[in-house]
Structures are given as structure tokens and as C-alpha cells.
């Protein structure tokens, strides 16, 4: 039976202190390695007769803007189907030069998953056979899942999105009589009464 | 080349290939996705897939939503079996929060998830039939999907995008009509499924169309990250329900059907057999549910006041309930810090939720492992050198759901 402890031991035997941050959140062994070593670690996990992590369940990116020099993470979820053990392996990269070796040589499934990670986080997978966007349009010039692109502020008023249930901005782009009436009513309501409190 | 063919002088016609755009809105794609096929006559030389036509940025949206509002996003992934997605998401949240659900909740969930699996496989298998030119089966089984949807309706009020259940259990107990309809389904469906099977399983035309087309070896399927019926058709008995049981699947007795060749016919057979297994699981679960007596028979959710909406009556009369109600609705509950991966056996395979929480009110990062997205990349390998018409069959027997492809 393959235990987390044993996997950890095998990894440290092979890579010494280069694999680090061993954790077991909710029972899944999690560790990280320098990004230059990602293929070496994946290969070792794949080839080793005891470890046999030969199924890639998932690959995705995460952005930690506060983590200077290691802003982007690529998270691999691997599965040993024989012993039914899952592990999580992370590599971190600088956002200025987010180059990471591709795992497509080992796992065909990494192809689209890496494209997705590139599409949303801008991680450049070196050696990937077809490194281009997959879900977004090719013309997009930014990486939308990065944290510097927050979702639209629910209270923004610079566009008329009454149709989306957030109320229109006063006098936005319309000058029909009806619209004016409606706006004047709202304007009225916002005016304070004698007590100084706005009428709601 | 036979003698009947017109013989043209050597080199008088230059050999060219044809480029065919299959999709994005082609009836045979059953969803919005594009395939650019390079054809040599009717044989496929190469294909290129373009996806993302209905990409809705669920992962980004989820980063701004409290947990309970994300359930509606999961509905829209594999919309042929939304309840499985819903339950998978609730299980993920429960794992993060450390919630233990009562057995009755687990069994009710199993009933719903297996019904969803049946409706998913039913669609897939009957659509394979339609693509082979057999419309009858599709129309015949459709009324039983309707019955499944009616059961959903009794349980949660919705049919397609169900938003079913809450963190900790269900929003309300199953009513008597739901159970009556379930009994009706259990009584009538086996006969229908048998008849459906008779239409196809040993049908010469159907077998000729599906056997040996779109085949993949077990090794390649694993390398491509196949899961679910598509992997099992290739001969690997990996099923999340057995390998990492959730929602008390370990209490049920069922087998995992596996195929051998991984071709369209095997995929069809595996799905067919899985429906029988699902039926048996539902029967077992229904028996187990009926065994609960007294107060236990009324349990339909766990005690998680911070995430499970209190009774409306309590909201008006009890201070604590009012506070929880407000905090839940406004999404002001801080979720514990942590990192979880939870997988469920979806209609198409391992549906995974990777949730990172930094202790805020919304997930820091949520990633969906969508089986469809992962196995669609093998389409080129599956169809290389095949006939165009076989590619269509392969596409439908893989059960590509655009919602799950794009997320």
C-alpha cells in the first residue's frame, strides 16, 4: 500500500530538499518543486516502479499577485490508478517570464489543459506543440483569470444595464420623454426632505 | 479501382483535399463546437477543433460568488445530468467545511444522481442511434427522460438546470408524488430499456456502423485522461464511485461494466449496461430510504446553520435564524481556509472540483475538471483515416456536451 509518507520519502531521496512544502490538506499529499524541475519530477513519478503516477487528472493555473517572484502557480493533480492514490504537485513561476516546460510529452491530455492555462493565466509552456488560446478569442491581448482583472463591479454606473436588473443610470444615452420622466422621479426621490434624510 | 470507373489520363487531375467546416452550429455536432476537417474524398486526413463558443467564464464568476450561488453555474456544465454536477459541488463544499451528511441524505442523493446518469446515458445512446439513422429509439425513450425530469421537478421545482440541493442536503424533503413517480419509473423503465436495447444491440446495420469505428486503446485512453464510460469501454475499470466512494456509494452493490475495444459500439454497450446498474442502485437506495422510520424518515439535511438556510418561520421568530438567513443570502459567511479536490462520477466521467479558499467569503480559485473538455482532444486521433460519417458517430458516442467543454 502506497502511503503519503512513503511517496514523500521517495521524493526526498531523489530530489533532496528541492521538493519542498509537503502538506496534506484533506489527506492529499501536496508539494512543490522549482519550475525547472517540473518535468524531472513528473517523469520520476511516472516511471518509478513504486509510485506509478501515470494518470494526469488535472492541470490548472492559480494567480497569487502578492507572492513576489512566484506569482503564477501551475497545479498538477496526478493519480496512481493501481494503488488509488492522488497527489497534488505545484510549481511556481515569475509572472514576468512565465516559462514552464510542457508535460505534453508525457501526457497527451496535458495539451488542452496547458492551452487553457495559457489562455487564462499566460503561462507559456515551453515545447508545447500548439501553444495558442483555446476558449477565448485569438485577438484577446490579456489573460483574464489573473487577479488584476476583477469581475465587473456590481455597482458601476457608467453603462446602462437596466436590462440586467441593476437599474439604469440617470439620463444615460436616452432623451425620450418617458425616460426623462422616470429619471426626474428618481431624482426627486434622492432629494432630502425637511429632516435632511433622503426619501427612500 | 474497378473497371467501371472512368479512367482519366495519368496526371490530368491534380489530387487535392477538401476542407469542410463541421459546425459551429451543425445539427450533427449537437452543440456549439467547430471541427475543421480536411477530407480526401470521404476519408478524414486531419481535423482541428475550435471550441469556446459558449464559454461563460464560470471559473472567474465563481471567484466573486458565495458558495451557494455557484451551484447554478454547475448546472450549466453538463446540462444532460445537472443534478450530478450540483451534488458534486455540494460534496466539495461539505468536504471543505467538514460537514457529515446523514445517511438518508446520502441515499436520496444517490437516487437523484443515478436518475441523472440514466437520463444522460439515455440521451447519448439514443442520439448515437439518431446519427445512425434510427430515430425510433430516441423518440421512444424520451418519455422516460420526461418522467425523470418530472421527478426532478417534484424535488426541486426545475427540470433542466436544476440547482438541486443545498450544502448539507436538500432544500426540502421529497414529497409523496416524487416517490410515486420514482416507483412508476422503476416499474416501467426496465421494459422500455430492454425494448430500446432490442432495437439496437444486435441490429446488423447499427453494429456495422459502430463496430471498429472511433476505437482507442486502453493505454492511449489513459494517456488522454479519459474517464467514465469512454475509458471503461476501452477496458479500464476505473469508476470514481468505487475508487473514491462519496455519498455512501460503498453501501451499494453494483458492478462496473467494461468494454474491450474502446470503439463506438463498446461505448454504447457500456452506457447501456451502466443504465441497468444505475437502475439497480436506485432500487437499493429506495429500499434503504424506506427503512428509515419515525423522525429519521424526515431527515433531509445536515445541521449546518451557517450554510443551510433556516426555515422561513424561524427567520421571523428566532434571532439566530434571522442572522444566519441574512448572512447566507448576502454571502457574508467566511469560508474556512483550505484546498480541496473532490471528484464525482459524472455522466461523462470524473467531474472534479478543485477549490482553493483563502478564508474569504468567496473561493479564491475554483477549477472544474470537465471530462468532456479533456477527452475531446483525442477526437483527432480517433477519427484519423476514418470516414466522415463515422466521425459523426464518434462525436455523438463520446457524448460531447458543449456546456461542459467550454465552462
pLDDT of residue A187: 44
Which residues in chain A are contacts of B63 at CB distance < 8 A?
Answer: 151
Q: Where are the domains of chain A?
A: 4-126, 155-190
pLDDT of residue B44: 92
- pLDDT category, B14, cuts 50, 70, 90? confident
- pLDDT category, A7, cuts 50, 70, 90? very high
Cell 493501481 -> residue: A82
- B393: pLDDT strictly greater than 80: yes
> Do the Cβ atoms of A109 and B238 come within 8 Å?
no
Cβ atoms within 10 Å, residue B310? 16
- pLDDT category, A188, cuts 50, 70, 90? very low
Q: How far is CA B130 from CA B125, B204, B219, in A?
A: 9, 15, 30
Please indicate if any CB of chain B lies within 8 Å of the CB of A58: yes
The per-residue pLDDT for range B201-224, each reduced to its tens digit, is 999 999 999 999 999 999 999 999
Residues of chain B with a CB closer than 8 angstroms to some CB in chain A? 51-52, 55, 57, 59-61, 63-64, 95-96, 220, 222-225, 236, 238, 243-244, 338-341, 343, 350, 352, 354, 356, 364-365, 367, 369, 373-374, 376-378, 406-407
pLDDT of residue B362: 92
pLDDT of residue A175: 45
The per-residue pLDDT for range A130-184, each reduced to its tens digit, is 999 999 999 999 999 999 888 766 666 666 656 665 555 555 444 444 444 444 4
Range in A8-22, A142-156, B282-296, B299-313 with the lowest mean pLDDT = A142-156
> Do the Cβ atoms of B352 and A57 come within 8 Å?
yes
Q: Which of A121, A55, A86, A21 is nearest to B342 (CA)?
A: A86
In chain B, the percentage of residues whose pLDDT exceeds 70 is 98
ipTM of the modeled complex: 0.90
Q: Distance from B186 to chain A by nearest Cα, in Å? A: 34
> Do the Cβ atoms of A151 and B60 come within 8 Å?
yes
pLDDT of residue A164: 60
| Ordered structural domains, chain B, with CATH | 58-406 (1.10.645.10)
- Terminal-residue alpha carbon distance, chain A: 67
Is the link from the previous residue into B24 a cis peptide, with omega within 30 of 0?
Answer: yes
- B23: pLDDT strictly greater than 60: yes
The per-residue pLDDT for range B87-100, each reduced to its tens digit, is 999 999 999 999 99
The number of helix segments (H) and strand segments (E) in chain B equals: 17, 6
- A114: pLDDT strictly greater than 90: yes
The CATH number given to A4-126 is 3.30.460.80
pTM: 0.89
Tell me the C-alpha distance between B264 and B223, whole Å: 19
Sorted by sequence, the CB contacts under 8 Å of residue A86 that are 6+ apart come out as A28, A57, A77, A78, A79, A80, B341
Q: Which of A109, A134, A136 sits opposite B223 (nearest CB)?
A: A109
Q: Distance from A127 to chain B by nearest Cα, in Å? A: 18
- B109: pLDDT strictly greater than 70: yes
Amino acid at each position: 500500500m502506497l502511503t503519503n509518507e512513503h511517496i514523500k520519502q521517495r521524493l526526498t531521496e531523489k530530489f533532496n530538499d528541492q521538493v519542498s512544502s509537503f502538506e496534506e490538506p484533506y489527506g492529499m499529499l501536496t508539494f512543490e518543486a522549482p519550475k525547472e524541475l517540473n518535468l524531472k519530477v513528473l517523469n520520476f513519478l511516472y516511471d518509478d516502479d513504486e509510485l506509478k503516477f501515470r494518470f494526469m487528472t488535472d492541470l490548472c493555473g492559480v494567480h497569487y499577485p502578492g507572492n513576489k517572484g512566484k506569482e503564477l502557480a501551475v497545479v498538477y493533480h496526478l493519480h496512481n490508478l493501481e494503488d488509488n492514490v492522488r497527489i497534488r504537485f505545484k510549481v511556481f513561476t515569475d509572472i514576468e517570464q512565465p516559462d514552464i516546460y510542457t508535460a505534453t510529452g508525457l501526457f497527451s491530455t496535458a495539451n488542452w489543459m496547458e492551452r487553457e492555462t495559457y489562455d487564462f493565466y499566460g503561462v507559456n509552456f515551453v515545447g508545447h506543440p500548439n501553444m495558442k488560446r483555446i476558449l477565448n478569442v485569438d485577438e484577446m491581448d490579456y489573460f483574464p483569470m489573473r487577479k488584476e482583472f476583477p469581475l465587473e463591479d456590481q455597482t458601476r454606473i457608467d453603462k446602462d444595464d437596466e436590462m440586467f436588473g441593476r437599474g439604469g443610470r440617470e439620463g444615460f444615452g436616452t432623451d425620450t420623454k418617458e425616460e426623462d420622466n422616470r429619471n426626474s422621479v428618481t431624482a426627486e426621490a434622492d432629494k432630502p426632505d425637511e429632516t435632511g434624510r433622503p426619501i427612500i | 479501382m474497378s473497371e467501371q470507373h472512368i479512367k482519366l489520363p495519368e496526371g490530368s487531375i491534380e489530387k487535392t483535399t477538401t476542407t469542410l467546416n463541421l459546425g459551429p452550429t451543425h445539427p450533427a455536432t449537437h452543440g456549439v463546437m467547430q471541427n475543421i476537417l480536411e477530407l480526401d474524398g470521404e476519408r478524414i486526413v486531419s481535423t482541428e477543433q475550435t471550441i469556446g463558443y459558449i464559454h461563460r467564464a464560470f471559473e472567474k464568476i465563481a471567484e466573486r460568488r458565495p458558495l451557494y450561488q455557484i451551484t447554478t453555474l454547475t448546472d450549466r456544465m453538463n446540462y444532460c445530468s445537472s443534478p450530478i454536477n450540483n451534488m458534486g459541488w455540494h460534496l466539495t463544499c461539505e468536504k471543505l467545511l467538514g460537514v457529515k451528511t446523514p445517511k438518508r441524505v446520502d441515499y436520496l442523493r444517490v437516487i437523484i444522481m443515478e436518475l441523472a446518469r440514466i437520463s444522460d446515458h439515455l440521451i447519448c445512446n439514443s442520439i448515437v442511434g439518431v446519427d445512425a439513422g434510427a430515430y425510433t429509439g430516441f423518440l421512444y425513450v424520451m418519455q422516460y427522460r420526461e418522467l425523470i425530469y418530472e421527478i426532478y421537478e417534484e424535488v426541486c421545482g426545475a427540470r433542466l438546470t436544476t440547482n438541486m440541493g443545498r450544502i448539507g442536503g436538500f432544500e426540502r424533503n421529497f414529497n409523496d408524488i416524487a416517490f410515486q413517480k420514482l416507483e412508476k419509473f422503476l416499474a416501467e423503465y426496465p421494459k422500455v430499456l430492454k425494448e430500446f436495447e432490442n432495437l439496437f444491440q444486435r441490429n446488423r446495420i447499427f453494429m456495422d456502423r459502430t463496430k471498429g469505428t472511433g476505437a482507442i486503446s486502453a493505454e492511449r485512453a489513459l494517456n488522454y485522461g479519459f474517464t467514465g464510460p469512454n475509458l471503461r469501454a476501452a477496458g479500464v475499470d476505473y469508476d470514481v464511485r468505487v475508487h473514491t466512494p462519496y455519498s455512501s456509494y460503498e453501501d451499494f452493490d453494483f458492478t462496473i461494466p467494461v468494454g474491450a475495444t474502446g470503439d463506438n459500439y463498446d461505448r454504447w454497450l457500456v452506457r447501456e449496461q451502466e443504465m441497468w446498474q444505475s437502475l439497480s442502485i436506485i432500487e437499493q437506495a429506495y429500499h434503504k430510504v424506506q427503512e428509515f422510520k419515525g423522525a429519521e424518515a424526515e431527515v433531509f439535511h445536515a445541521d449546518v446553520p451557517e450554510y443551510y438556510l433556516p426555515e422561513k418561520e424561524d427567520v421571523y421568530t428566532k434571532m439566530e435564524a434571522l442572522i444566519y438567513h441574512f448572512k447566507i443570502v448576502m454571502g457574508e459567511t467566511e469560508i474556512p481556509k483550505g484546498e480541496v479536490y473532490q471528484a464525482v462520477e459524472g455522466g461523462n466521467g470524473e467531474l472534479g472540483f478543485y477549490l482553493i479558499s483563502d478564508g474569504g467569503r468567496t473561493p479564491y480559485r475554483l477549477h472544474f475538471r470537465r471530462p468532456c473538455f479533456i477527452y475531446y482532444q483525442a477526437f483527432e486521433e480517433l477519427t484519423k483515416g476514418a470516414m466522415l460519417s463515422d466521425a459523426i458517430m464518434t462525436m455523438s458516442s463520446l457524448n460531447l456536451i458543449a456546456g461542459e467543454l467550454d465552462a
